[in-house]
Amino acid sequence: MSSPKIFNLVLLTSLLCSCSILDPYIDRRRNPGTSDISRLYTGTSKPDAPAVCYNPFLSQESELQALADAECVKNSTGTHAVFVKKDGFSCKVLLPATAYYKCVK
């Protein structure tokens, strides 16, 4: 098998296996090794204000809303999330956009 064929096969396999990389997620990164609870999380998401990283071409608004609602309920900061604003190029390369929400009761 030639090198271009092997490269194409590896590329195709990695693309098929990496579909979950494009799923939206709550931006709640941890700062490992710290004991101070106020400095534990470094992402833009807060317990009462979730921030969702997503790809605007692949994600639906309802999917982002469901993630934010679940985060509000999980943290007991509200019953649902209300959309505040969108921001671009603040997350990962494949998920460049961020949607900010506020938890309300």
Closest CA to 25 of 75, 82, 94: 94
The pLDDT-based confidence of 18 (bands split at 50, 70, 90) is: low
Percent of the chain with pLDDT over 90: 38
Strand runs (DSSP E) across 1-105, as ranges? 25-26, 51-54, 80-87, 97-104
Over range 70-84, report the average pLDDT.
92
Sequence spans of domains, the chain? 22-104
Residue 33, token pair as written in the block = 């090794």
Antiparallel, parallel or unpaired: β 51-54 and 97-104: antiparallel
- Greatest extent of the chain over all pairs of C-alpha atoms, in Å: 61
How would you class 88 by CB atoms within 10 Å of its CB: exposed for 0-12, middle for 13-18, buried for 19 or more? exposed
pLDDT value at 27 more than 70: yes
